[in-house]
Amino acid sequence: MHNILRKEMKLSASPLCYLFILFGFMFFLPGYPVLCGAFFVTLGLFQGFQYAREANDIVFSALLPIGKKDVVKGKYLFVCFIEGCSLLLMLAATLIRMTALAGSAVYRTNALMNANLFALGGALLIFGLFNMIFVGGFFKTGYKLGKPFVVYIIVAFLTIGVLESLHHIPGLAAVNAFGFEHLGLQCLFLLAGLAAFLALTWLSYRYACRHFEKIDL
């Protein structure tokens, strides 16, 4: 497993994958839909898949003394690694906003989603959708990128729109809590986002393995 991930990181990955991790710091931006930071991280991963396809990486990986299932595993491990790194930046930004910047006027007057544990749960959901729709869709053919990414864009922005709208619905203002207000509810949404991420990624990985085994490279 370690060698597969190292191969992805050193040989297959585009520099944009690493650069776009920094979009996790978008959780600091007031007056901006912070979940777009999660989308931009996945955009970097999309560029990485495109870079790897042009370099014929999938065929190269399949020629290595490993099974097709391991080729799929390597991609998923790398995707989750990048998502995890960006999530750490989002977590750092969120904790700073929930503590030192909790009373800042620029955040208190923000009409959009605050950076809190609910927002982190939303980011995990976006990552899970990317893994399910795009990464899983890619391994149906091993080379087609456009259609699964367009479908992912539509679903991702619909999801962001819904999550951004929730705190404007009467009775749901608590999801946009500042600092550690309504901490129990925030933790519940974070755990729900984590569960969704794990479930979507695992199901996507299983289906991707099945589809990729049937492809004649």
For 10-67, the pLDDT digits (tens) are 888 899 999 999 999 999 998 899 999 999 999 999 999 999 988 888 888 877 888 8
Q: Tell me if 73 sits within 8 A of 8, measured CB to CB.
A: no
The per-residue pLDDT for 66 is: 84
In the predicted model, is pLDDT for residue 1 greater than 80? no
For 103-118, the pLDDT digits (tens) are 788 888 888 899 999 9
Rounded CA gap, 160 and 95, in Å? 21
Q: Is 143 exposed, middle or buried (0-12, 13-18, 19+ CB in 10 A)?
A: middle
Give the structural domain span for 124.
Answer: 2-214
For 149-170, the pLDDT digits (tens) are 999 999 999 999 999 999 989 9
Q: Where are the alpha helices (DSSP H) in the chain?
A: 2-7, 15-19, 36-54, 57-63, 68-98, 105-108, 117-129, 136-138, 146-165, 183-214
What is the biggest distance separating any 2 CA atoms in the chain, rounded to whole angstroms? 58
Q: Please state the pTM of the whole predicted model.
A: 0.95
Tell me what the pLDDT averaged over the chain comes to.
92
For the chain, give the number of residues: 217
Domain count, the chain: 1
Instruction: Tell me which residue of 210, 211, 205, 207 sits closest to 79, measured CA to CA.
Output: 205
Instruction: Tell me which residue of 200, 91, 83, 187 sits closest to 136, measured CA to CA.
Output: 200
In the predicted model, is pLDDT for residue 146 greater than 80? yes
Rounded CA gap, 101 and 119, in Å? 16
Distance of alpha carbon 145 from the chain centroid: 17
Q: Give the mean model confidence (pLDDT) for residues 190-203.
A: 98
Long-range contacts of 61-70 (CB under 8 A, 24+ apart): 61/7, 61/12, 62/217, 66/4, 68/209, 68/212, 68/213, 68/215, 69/209, 69/212, 69/213, 70/4
